[in-house]
């Protein structure tokens, strides 16, 4: 894994060497380069890049502000921290307006500079990951992708990649709208079978009297109007993957024949006395409780164990609520591309309403909501008024989380993760409501909230909130 690269530009040799020693010791995962002046930094960026920059404002010939403008033009995603003496605070504020992430004053406080750099590293990671995701949205050469960065999504993605490397029959389970079909496609595309066919079968859509012949094929004369031999879907998927969508809806009579295919690795076309060997990977999808269906004698227990060799559960939107902003950005850009519209975006208050709303239909329901908002909003900025499908959206999380909020798929959420998620959502809701009240006036918001203006600005930046969205 490549290290993040930090560029320190400081003309005072002792100060530069001191920063190199301190930050190398505190951040061993960083690759740190120290340069004595802005001209060398400009030259460095002609042939190389950095993720973060620590720039002194007061330098001879070319000062830090001029250098910042040059570097931001080269890389708008650069996370820059400015260093200044106490008497140059106005210059530091100017640097923020030019795109700097933050500034620190000399002489340095060790804990402050380490804390500021830690936040800058996290900001850099999120910005670049978000940029990568957005760049993939309109790439017509790619299929739809699973989107997320939350702990729940990362665990799911890791398990998906592990399953894809195997050739075992897989059972993909999850609520409706969580992307089970996308998951099956991802497993196939990451597997050694990706150059061979992937065939999706929507089992409930095929009438029971036709399902057997569709899956296994038939010979001429097998039934009325069977005028020639017909290859089945198992044969058509030779060497590839056959995905059985809504496998729980397969009729009981067909289940025994499917069981034989999984046991023996061969099929018998309808009307034929011969069996045919097949080489097909099976991925089964369902949102049903198969264990209950087994107890009710609606699903064969032996077939369940044949399908359930490896299991992957798609996370619900409730499990990955912190990924909603990423999904909204992805869906918004995708819809704008599909409709050939200028790129639109949700203001922070509308986005907060989407974050705080429950989505029983999961990502599919969220995607449909974004489609409606993009289609019917005539403006570039989508506001809360455009979300007419949300009734009385909450401004704050004014109800205490319930037991169900912390447990999913039998796993109880870690305290730190739950605390971070809850505080993040509360802060977004509170700051959005505050700025709506003051129509984007940060100074007035600081007075109303009892938060210092500098602290409020930092919170706004940290949560990627744009105060101008709330101005008339």
The rounded average pLDDT for each run of 10 residues, N- to C-terminus, in the chain (472 residues) is 80 90 90 92 86 90 89 83 75 79 83 88 75 48 65 91 94 94 93 92 85 87 78 90 93 90 88 88 95 93 94 92 89 90 85 84 92 89 76 44 60 75 76 82 85 84 75 62
Q: Do domains 151-313 and 321-470 have the same CATH topology?
A: no
Q: Please name the fold of domain 151-313.
A: Rossmann fold (3.40.50)
Domain 4-137 part of CATH 3.40.630.40: no
Residue 90 burial (C-beta neighbours within 10 Å; 0-12, 13-18, 19+): exposed
Question: Domain 321-470 is of which CATH architecture?
Answer: Orthogonal Bundle (1.10)
Q: What is the pLDDT of residue 360?
A: 87
Q: What is the pLDDT of residue 89?
A: 66
> What residue ranges do the domains of the chain occupy?
4-137, 151-313, 321-470
Q: What is the pLDDT of residue 137?
A: 47
């Amino acid at each position: 894994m490549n290290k993040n690269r930090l560029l320190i530009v400081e003309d005072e040799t002792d100060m530069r060497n001191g920063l190199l020693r301190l930050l190398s010791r505190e951040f061993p995962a960083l690759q740190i380069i120290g340069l004595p002046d802005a001209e060398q930094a400009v030259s460095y960026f002609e042939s190389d890049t950095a993720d973060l920059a620590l720039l002194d404002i007061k330098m001879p010939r070319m000062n830090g502000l001029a250098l910042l403008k040059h570097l931001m033009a080269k890389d708008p995603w650069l996370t820059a921290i400015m260093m200044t003496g106490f008497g140059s605070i106005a210059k530091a504020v100017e640097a923020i307006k030019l795109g700097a992430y933050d500034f620190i004053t000399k002489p340095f406080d060790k804990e402050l500079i380490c804390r500021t750099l830690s936040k800058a590293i996290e900001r850099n990671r999120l910005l670049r990951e978000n940029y990568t995701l957005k760049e993939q949205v309109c790439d017509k050469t790619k299929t739809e992708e699973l989107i997320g960065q939350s702990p729940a999504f990362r665990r799911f993605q890791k398990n998906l990649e592990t399953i894809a490397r195997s050739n075992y029959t897989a059972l993909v389970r999850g609520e409706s709208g969580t992307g089970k079909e996308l998951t099956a496609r991802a497993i196939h595309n990451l597997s050694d079978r990706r150059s061979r066919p992937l065939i999706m079968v929507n089992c409930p859509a095929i009438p029971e009297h036709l399902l057997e012949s569709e899956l296994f094929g038939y010979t001429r004369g097998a039934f009325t109007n069977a005028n020639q031999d017909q290859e089945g879907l198992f044969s058509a998927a030779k060497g590839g993957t056959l995905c059985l969508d809504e496998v729980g809806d397969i009729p009981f009579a067909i289940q025994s024949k499917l069981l034989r295919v999984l046991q023996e690795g061969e099929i018998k076309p309808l009307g034929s006395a011969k069996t045919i060997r097949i080489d097909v990977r099976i991925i089964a999808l369902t949102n049903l409780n198969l264990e209950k269906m087994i107890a009710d004698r609606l699903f064969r227990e032996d077939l369940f164990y044949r399908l359930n060799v490896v299991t992957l559960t798609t996370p619900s939107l409730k499990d990955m609520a912190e990924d909603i902003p990423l999904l909204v950005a992805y869906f918004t850009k995708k819809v704008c591309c599909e409709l050939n519209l200028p790129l639109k975006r949700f203001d922070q208050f509308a986005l907060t309403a989407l974050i705080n709303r429950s989505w029983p239909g999961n990502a599919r329901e969220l995607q449909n909501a974004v489609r409606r908002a993009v289609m019917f909003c005539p403006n570039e900025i989508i506001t809360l008024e455009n979300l007419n499908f949300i009734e009385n959206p909450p401004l704050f999380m004014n109800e205490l989380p319930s037991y169900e909020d912390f447990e999913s798929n039998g796993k109880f959420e870690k305290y730190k993760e739950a605390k971070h998620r809850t505080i993040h959502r509360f802060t977004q809701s509170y700051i959005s409501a505050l700025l709506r009240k003051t129509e984007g006036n940060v100074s007035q918001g600081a007075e109303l909230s009892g938060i210092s203006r500098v602290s409020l600005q930092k919170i706004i930046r940290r949560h990627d909130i744009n105060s101008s969205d709330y101005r008339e």
